[in-house]
Chains A and B, each alone.
Chain A
Amino acid sequence: GENVEQHPSTLSVQEGDSAVIKCTYSDSASNYFPWYKQELGKGPQLIIDIRSNVGEKKDQRIAVTLNKTAKHFSLHITETQPEDSAVYFCAASRSNFGNEKLTFGTGTRLTIIP
């Protein structure tokens, strides 16, 4: 089955600086890679996703890059703000239609220092 590794497990950055979280996956059939933000006591919230036919996607301060050959993808947050503090999870699936299971990474606790 799919195995998703995520690094780092914790990350502290100064407000305004950039944060980068990296994930690798093992299943070459995976083609959908979402990123979730989870706040304490809440369910995961999708912040950005990418499909395997795209190498990069950007949405305002958030971007995701995908290297399918190397089987790794990364989340980039620029101009970080205190409200970005949360736990972030990467995930991988064989489908973006929600009919195949998602395998999650181990999570990164991001702390933005004011």
Chain B
Amino acid sequence: GAVVSQHPSWVICKSGTSVKIECRSLDFQATTMFWYRQFPKQSLMLMATSNEGSKATYEQGVEKDKFLINHASLTLSTLTVTSAHPEDSSFYICSAGTGGPYGYTFGSGTRLTVV
């Protein structure tokens, strides 16, 4: 089946620094990548959608200059949280669209804590 590898699984960073989260599709080409944020005991909220080689489309209320998304290849997408602040602490999850029978495949998530 389709597998998405997400790293790191957890990260602690100081306020004001930047953090990069990677998602790799291991055995398929991810034509579309979705990035979600999940606060404790809440649902997954879509942040942005990216297609390989194109600029990401951000959901309303998500700052595109703060959450930089790069989808330069069909197997790798990255989310960079720039100038992180404590309120950015959350669980970030990627999901790859396979364009085929596997539908959506989710990464294992990244727990970001900004101190």
Instruction: Please list the residues of chain A having a beta carbon within 8 angstroms of any beta carbon in chain B.
Output: 32, 34, 36, 41-46, 49, 89, 93, 96-99, 101-107
Chain A interface mostly: loop
Complex: chain A residue closest to B110, CB-CB: A43
Bound Cα distance from A103 to B43, whole angstroms: 10
Bound Cα distance from A87 to B106, whole angstroms: 16
Minimum CB–CB distance from A7 to chain B (whole Å) comes to 13
Chain B interface mostly: strand
Give 28 CB contacts A-B under 8 Å.
A32-B103, A42-B108, A43-B108, A43-B109, A44-B44, A44-B93, A49-B103, A89-B44, A93-B104, A97-B98, A98-B96, A98-B98, A98-B102, A98-B104, A99-B31, A99-B32, A99-B97, A99-B99, A101-B46, A101-B49, A102-B34, A102-B104, A103-B46, A104-B43, A104-B44, A105-B43, A106-B42, A107-B43
